[in-house]
Amino acid sequence: MPLGTERNRRESRVARVAFIGLGNMGGGMAANLAKAGHEVRAFDLSADALARAEAKGCTRAASPAEALADADAVITMLPAGRHVAEVYRASVFAAAPKSALLIDCSTIDVATARTVAGEAGAAGYTMVDAPVSGGIAAADGGTLTFMVGGSDEGFERARPFLEQMGKAVIHAGAAGTGQAAKICNNMLLGATMAATCEAFVLAQKLGLDLQTFYDISSKASGQSWSMTTYCPVPGVGPETPADRNYEGGFAAALMLKDLKLAMEAAREAGAYTPMGGEAEELFQRFVDRGGATRDFSALIKMIDDSWEAPDETKT
Ligand code: NAD
């Protein structure tokens, strides 16, 4: 739901929100909460991130404890599971009131999400995992999709906050299922993008015009989001990062991170995921060859053997 709609105004009272992790994603998300009228107390290890958050209406906290004191809700947007476990164990459980709702929006491994949620419950808190789909533009624009793991009560309490940062908020199930949904979705995305890249490269080698192949396949059974919304070929389909030399978009390093989380979860769950494993290997090779910051659809350049690493990342 877009920011500032009647429903948002009705459902979410003005609250004190402790926001920890104001990076590329958290910065925009916290700014949208401040814009909606919440008192957002921001803490990050980076002074630059804090200065940007302050410029967008948040209050800078000098320590996690200062951000957490008297908070109605705590939102974290951190790089990985170890950061989340550390922040909750060292700071949140020590300084946030028991009445505060805890919402972790980071993308992390399912096992850590479940462990930290269990520790939160044992300490008397309600906690949900609420990872997001959508990149920096969606975080800035308040159009993220949230997939939420936790109790019905936790979901209902989190929903008004999440609606002010996103366009869709979906309850996935019990604690950890938000993370499970996120990594299953992104495993599918990684595999379909790799397959789409391969199909275009083969089509070209077989003498097909790529626009013609798109016109056929986008209306046939090979169609997927990777083809029709995010086509890896410049000049074909809607405008995508391919048309901007694969700048911006969803960095290959983040795709690789999510594939590694999916493979770790598959090992723990005993699930056979050969396509996900293959996608992980391909994106690992692409990142090793200097593609980390490029949009993940640039994988097609490695598959058609025309990839040249940007100068700054050449080894
Ligand atoms: P980022 O690195 O830009 O931001 C993370 C922030 O956390 C940094 O500002 C860092 O200083 C801060 N931080 C780290 N440890 C901290 C600690 N102990 N205390 C306080 N602050 C700490 O990362 P990002 O791109 O904003 O991504 C955040 C999360 O969102 C990740 O889990 C990522 O996988 C996920 N995600 C990112 C995108 C994207 O397009 N960037 C999209 C979907 C999901």
Regarding the beta carbon of 90 and ligand 1, being less than 6 Å apart is answered no
- How many angstroms separate the alpha carbon of residue 220 from the centre of ligand 1? 38
Question: What's the pTM value of the predicted model, to 2 decimals?
Answer: 0.90
User: Domain 3-173 adopts which CATH fold?
Assistant: Rossmann fold (3.40.50)
Q: List pLDDT tens digits, range 198-229.
A: 999 999 999 999 999 999 999 999 999 999 99
Average pLDDT, the chain: 93
Regarding the beta carbon of 124 and ligand 1, being less than 6 Å apart is answered no
Looking at the annotation, which residues are catalytic? 182
Q: List pLDDT tens digits, range 78-89.
A: 999 999 999 999
Q: List pLDDT tens digits, range 58-76.
A: 999 999 999 999 999 999 9
Write down the architecture of domain 181-313 according to CATH: Orthogonal Bundle (1.10)
Pick the residue whose CA is nearest to atom 40 on ligand 1.
135
- How many angstroms separate the alpha carbon of residue 80 from the centre of ligand 1? 8
Q: Quote the CA–CA distance of 134 and 107 in Å, as a whole number.
A: 12
- Would you list the domain boundaries of the chain? 3-173, 181-313
- How many angstroms separate the alpha carbon of residue 106 from the centre of ligand 1? 7
The DSSP result for the chain, as a single string, is --TT-HHHHHH----EEEEE--SHHHHHHHHHHHHTT-EEEEE-S-HHHHHHHHHTTPEEPSSHHHHHTT-SEEEE--SSHHHHHHHIIIIIHHHS-TTSEEEE-S---HHHHHHHHHHHHHTT-EEEE--EES-HHHHHHT-EEEEEES-HHHHHHHHHHHHTTEEEEEEEESTTHHHHHHHHHHHHHHHHHHHHHHHHHHHHHTT--HHHHHHHHTTSTT--HHHHTS-SSTTSSS--GGGGTT-SSSBHHHHHHHHHHHHHHHHHHT---HHHHHHHHHHHHHIIIIITTSBGGGHHHHHTT-----GGG--
Pick the residue whose CA is nearest to atom 31 on ligand 1.
79
Mutate to test the pocket of ligand 1, among 19, 20, 24, 75 (most ligand atoms within 8 A of CB): 24
Q: List pLDDT tens digits, range 248-287.
A: 889 999 999 999 999 999 999 999 999 999 999 999 999 9
Token reading at 184 = 């299953």
Q: Quote the CA–CA distance of 129 and 176 in Å, as a whole number.
A: 6
Residues paired with residue 74 on neighbouring β-strands, in sequence order: 18, 102
Q: Are 8 and 33 in contact (CB under 8 A)?
A: no
